[in-house]
Amino acid sequence: MSLIVFLVLVILVPVVYVIWATNTKDAPWVPMEADVVDRVMKIANIGPNDIFYDLGSGDGRLVIAATMRGATAYGVELDRWRAMYSKIWIKVLGLENKAKIINKNLFDVDLSKATIVDTFLLSKTHEALKRKILKVCKVDTKIVAVMFEYKNWKVNKLDNRSPNNPIYLYEIGS
């Protein structure tokens, strides 16, 4: 009997994970590696005067990293379980005063106060998001794109140390 339970779990857990991780409208969730998190923080030059938004924040690791560098950080996550997980980690780390998770669709969030917006989204989502960014973000707002670039935007800085995870930096108005 325990062999059957074991086999069911071995098969069921990966299947449930794949369904959960890919069941999103704008991008599948892929956990960001620590070196990519660090590269995002460096390319955006995140500091205490920044208001950072991570669109599709997943488990909140970028939100936490930005907060650790002094920024006020907001994660926008549509999946309620990942949003809840992020909120728990933020609470455990004592970062509630500087980090917030917003459980909403990224198109429904006000980005007008952002100084940095991070996206690890598919190109098709970028196309729709560009209009919103140009409409509501201030001049000089930094836009960071991991892996998928914004077509027809001037890249201000490119970190391509990893061919699998290029990081693009754009600045509104430049």
**Predicted pLDDT of residue 56:** 93
Mean pLDDT in residue range 7-22:
50
Q: Could you give the CA distance from residue 173 to residue 95 in angstroms, rounded to a whole number?
A: 32
Give the strand pairing for 167-171 and 157-159.
antiparallel
Give the strand pairing for 51-55 and 116-119.
parallel
**Structural tokens at position 21:** 């991780």
Amino acid identity of residue 53, one-letter, is: Y
Domain containing residue 113: 2-171
**pLDDT digits over 55-82, tens only?**
999 999 999 999 999 999 999 999 999 9
**Structural tokens at position 102:** 């917003």
Q: How many domains does the chain have?
A: 1
The CATH number of the domain holding residue 111 is 3.40.50.150
**Structural tokens at position 140:** 């000089």
**pLDDT digits over 23-38, tens only?**
455 556 777 889 999 9
The pair phi, psi for residue 43, each rounded to 5°, is -65, -35
